[in-house]
Structure 1
Amino acid sequence: MPKVKERKKAAPIPVLPLLTGKALLNKTKELPDLSRRELARECGYFSATKKGEIRINLAEFYEALLQARGISLDSESGQKRGREATYRVSVQKNGQILIGSAYTKEMGLEPGDVFEVKLGYKHIHLIHQGLEDEE
Structure 2
Amino acid sequence: MALTGPDLLAKVKELGDGSKSDLVRAAGYVSIKKDGSERLNFTAFYEALLEAKGVSLGDGGGNGKGKGGRRLSYVATVQGNGNLLVGKAYTAMLDLRPGDEFEIKLGRKQIRLVPVGGADEEE
Instruction: Give me the TM-score of the superposition, normalised by structure 2.
Output: 0.48
Q: Which has the higher contact order (CA 8 A, sep 6+)?
A: 2
TM-score by length of 1: 0.44
- Larger Cα Rg: Structure 1 or Structure 2? 1
